[in-house]
Amino acid sequence: MRNYRLVCALEQNLSADEAQLHVEKIVQYIKENNGELGGVRNFGLAKTAYEMNRNARAHYFVVDFNLDPLKLKDMKRLIDINDKFLRDLIVKLDKFDKPLDRLTLGIEGKVKERKSELMLGESAFLNNLSQFISPYGKILSRYIIGISAKQMRCLSQAIKRARYIGLMPFRVQQ
C-alpha cells in the first residue's frame, strides 16, 4: 500500500453537504478496498484562478489515504465518471510532505512560508508560488531564484499542479 493525496475541486452550484456526499463516496470506496483513510479536509467554496466548465468557484477537498496501486485506477475511473468533479489530482506522497492538518491551499488566508520549506517536496498548493512566476506567466530560471536543479524540479512540479487544480492562473491577467 502506498500513501496518496487526492486534491479535488467540485462544482460551485453544489451545497456544502452535497459536495461532502460526493467526497464521502470516494472515502467509502477507499474503505471498501482495504485502504486506510489518513484524513479528509474541506477547504470550502473558493474562487478559482480561471473558469472551469463555467464555474468561477469550486469546493476544494483534500483526502489523504493509503491504497493498493492497482485499486487506484478504479478509484480514478469512479471520479472521472462523476461529472460534479471539475478537477482532481492524485499525488503519491513522500516523507517530506506536510500532514493534512498543516496543509494550506493558499485560499484560507495569507500564509508566508520559507522558500526552503517549499523545496522539500511539499505537495505544493501554496499561495507564495506566484513569486516564482514572471509577469508573463513563465516560471523563473533557477539561476534567478538561486536554487539547485533538484529544488527547481520540485518547484516547477508544484506550480504545474497548482495551475491544473485551478489555484493559480496559467498566465497573468492584464
Q: Give the count of domains, the chain.
A: 2
What is the pLDDT at residue 111? 34
Q: Are residues 130 and 74 in the same domain?
A: no
Provide the grid cell at 96: 517530506
Closest residue by Cα to residue 39 from 131, 101, 130: 101
Query: What is d(CA 22, CA 137) in angstroms, rounded to the nearest whole number?
Result: 34
Neighbouring CB atoms inside 10 A of 44's CB total 14
Domain that holds residue 134: 102-165
The full length of the chain comes to 174
CATH of the domain at 25: 3.30.70.60
Q: Are residues 55 and 132 in the same domain?
A: no
Task: Measure the CA dihedral 116/2/26/5, to 10°.
Answer: 0
Mark the ranges of the chain whose per-residue pLDDT is less than 50: 107-126
130 residue type, one letter: S
What is the pLDDT at residue 131? 83
pLDDT tens for each residue of 63-85: 999 999 999 999 999 999 999 99
Tell me whether residue 174 is in a domain: no
Sheet holding 85-92, edge to edge: 36-52, 55-67, 2-10, 85-92
Q: Which residues contact 3 (CB under 8 A, 6 or more apart)?
A: 38, 64, 65, 66, 92, 93
Provide the grid cell at 77: 475511473
What is the pLDDT at residue 94? 79
